[in-house]
Amino acid sequence: MGVRPSTGSVGDALDNALCESWFATLECELIDRRSFRMQAEARMAIFRFIEAWYNPHRRHSALGYQSPVRYERQHARAA
Protein backbone atom coordinates (compact mmCIF):
# COMPACT_ATOMS: atom_id res chain seq x y z
CA MET A 1 0.00 0.00 0.00
CA GLY A 2 3.01 2.31 0.05
CA VAL A 3 2.87 2.82 3.83
CA ARG A 4 6.31 3.10 5.36
CA PRO A 5 7.18 2.22 8.96
CA SER A 6 8.77 4.65 11.39
CA THR A 7 12.45 5.34 10.74
CA GLY A 8 13.38 4.99 14.40
CA SER A 9 13.49 1.95 16.62
CA VAL A 10 11.83 1.63 20.02
CA GLY A 11 13.01 4.36 22.38
CA ASP A 12 14.64 6.54 19.70
CA ALA A 13 14.15 10.28 19.82
CA LEU A 14 13.13 10.03 16.15
CA ASP A 15 9.81 8.46 17.15
CA ASN A 16 6.85 10.77 17.39
CA ALA A 17 4.34 9.20 19.78
CA LEU A 18 1.42 11.38 18.69
CA CYS A 19 2.01 10.63 15.01
CA GLU A 20 2.46 6.92 15.69
CA SER A 21 -0.79 6.91 17.67
CA TRP A 22 -2.62 8.63 14.82
CA PHE A 23 -1.38 6.12 12.26
CA ALA A 24 -2.40 3.26 14.58
CA THR A 25 -5.91 4.76 14.76
CA LEU A 26 -6.07 5.14 10.98
CA GLU A 27 -4.92 1.57 10.53
CA CYS A 28 -7.35 0.09 13.10
CA GLU A 29 -10.41 2.17 12.23
CA LEU A 30 -10.11 2.30 8.44
CA ILE A 31 -7.36 0.37 6.68
CA ASP A 32 -7.73 -2.95 8.53
CA ARG A 33 -11.53 -2.92 8.09
CA ARG A 34 -11.66 -2.83 4.31
CA SER A 35 -9.72 -3.54 1.16
CA PHE A 36 -9.08 -1.19 -1.71
CA ARG A 37 -8.94 -2.10 -5.38
CA MET A 38 -6.96 0.97 -6.42
CA GLN A 39 -4.67 3.50 -4.78
CA ALA A 40 -7.08 6.33 -5.68
CA GLU A 41 -9.86 4.57 -3.77
CA ALA A 42 -7.63 4.27 -0.69
CA ARG A 43 -6.63 7.94 -0.94
CA MET A 44 -10.27 9.06 -1.08
CA ALA A 45 -11.21 6.83 1.86
CA ILE A 46 -8.36 8.27 3.94
CA PHE A 47 -9.33 11.82 2.96
CA ARG A 48 -12.96 11.18 3.97
CA PHE A 49 -11.84 9.55 7.22
CA ILE A 50 -9.80 12.62 8.16
CA GLU A 51 -12.09 15.37 6.91
CA ALA A 52 -15.51 13.84 7.60
CA TRP A 53 -14.85 11.89 10.78
CA TYR A 54 -11.50 12.36 12.51
CA ASN A 55 -11.22 16.15 12.53
CA PRO A 56 -14.85 17.20 12.97
CA HIS A 57 -16.16 14.49 15.31
CA ARG A 58 -13.63 12.19 16.97
CA ARG A 59 -12.76 13.32 20.50
CA HIS A 60 -9.11 13.31 21.60
CA SER A 61 -7.74 12.96 25.11
CA ALA A 62 -4.87 15.36 24.27
CA LEU A 63 -7.48 18.07 23.53
CA GLY A 64 -9.52 17.61 26.69
CA TYR A 65 -11.80 15.08 24.97
CA GLN A 66 -12.90 17.53 22.30
CA SER A 67 -12.77 17.11 18.55
CA PRO A 68 -9.99 19.04 16.79
CA VAL A 69 -12.59 21.28 15.10
CA ARG A 70 -14.27 22.16 18.40
CA TYR A 71 -10.91 22.70 20.10
CA GLU A 72 -9.76 25.08 17.36
CA ARG A 73 -13.04 27.01 17.49
CA GLN A 74 -12.72 27.44 21.26
CA HIS A 75 -9.11 28.55 20.89
CA ALA A 76 -10.06 31.07 18.18
CA ARG A 77 -12.79 32.55 20.40
CA ALA A 78 -10.40 32.87 23.33
CA ALA A 79 -7.76 34.63 21.20
Task: Work out the mean pLDDT of the chain and round it to a whole number.
Answer: 84
Q: What is the pLDDT of residue 19?
A: 77
Average pLDDT over residues 25-52: 92
Q: Is the pLDDT of residue 12 over 90?
A: no
pLDDT tens, 53-69?
888 888 888 889 998 88
Asked if pLDDT for residue 13 goes beyond 60, the answer is no
pLDDT at 77 over 70: yes
Determine how many CB atoms are found less than 10 A away from the CB of residue 54: 20
CA dihedral sign of residues 66, 72, 76, 79: positive
